[in-house]
Structure 1
Amino acid sequence: MPVPPQFFKIANLTIGSLCLIASVSQLTYILSNFNAFLLAIFGIVLSTPIVVLEFNIPSNLYRYASFYFSFLGRGVVYILISFLLGFGGVFKILTSLLTFLLGVVYTVFEFLPQIEEPANFRGEGSPIAVEGDDDDII
């Protein structure tokens, strides 16, 4: 059963937005728990590209952060973000749980050949298929 491309867009926008909101709300810990504040900064830095990639693909992002362009890479990033957001109230805990579960799902999708990558998982200038004709490159 193929997964519709709208699922990936909705899932990425939802998780990216929730993680950004949770990270920004975690910035209030600057005085009481400076470690949680620093983790919120990392959460913002890792969550922002998730939302941005649904609208456009920055030209250098594929070169410097290619893990956003595969199911395995994005799944590991989602799991990492879920650990970064584990401080605070019920909203942050639920966001962390949803992000962790989607990270596990994306990691499993990497190993299922019948699941096709969405269009925004291909960087600008990268081939659509992995097994392209690279024999002509010198």
Structure 2
Amino acid sequence: MSLEILKSAWKVIPMFQSRSISLTVKFYTEKLGFELASVKPEDESSQATFCSLFIGKKADANFYFSRASNEDFNPSHAMIALGTRQLDEYYDYLGRLAGIEITEEIEDTPWGFRQFTIKDNDGNLLTFFKFLEGGNPGQE
């Protein structure tokens, strides 16, 4: 059975947990270069419980974070595709920064990706990749 309505899907937004939204915002914006879309509540006198961060054109890679207690925290994992040249450039950039834990070095995989993985300040994993064949945005 084919559901035509599912062909209208146009974006996926992974939901991660964070032990501290303010530290998550700082790590993703200052270290990784993401942009902040929003923090809730907006009142700075209250402890933040949610944030939205993104990279890419039209926030193509968008992540939501919700605050979790240490007891309820579960790390997540997401994969982010980058352009052909940009993957290696970003890997080199992150490798020069203090406070970035690269958990898997850049490599070409048997399943056709060139990829590397980092761990954020809460233990969430981000794998950045490009396709080895078939083209990538930014390919020259």
Q: What TM-score do the two structures reach when normalised by structure 1?
A: 0.27
| Higher relative contact order (Cα pairs below 8 Å, separated by 6+ residues) | 1
- Say which structure is richer in strand: 2
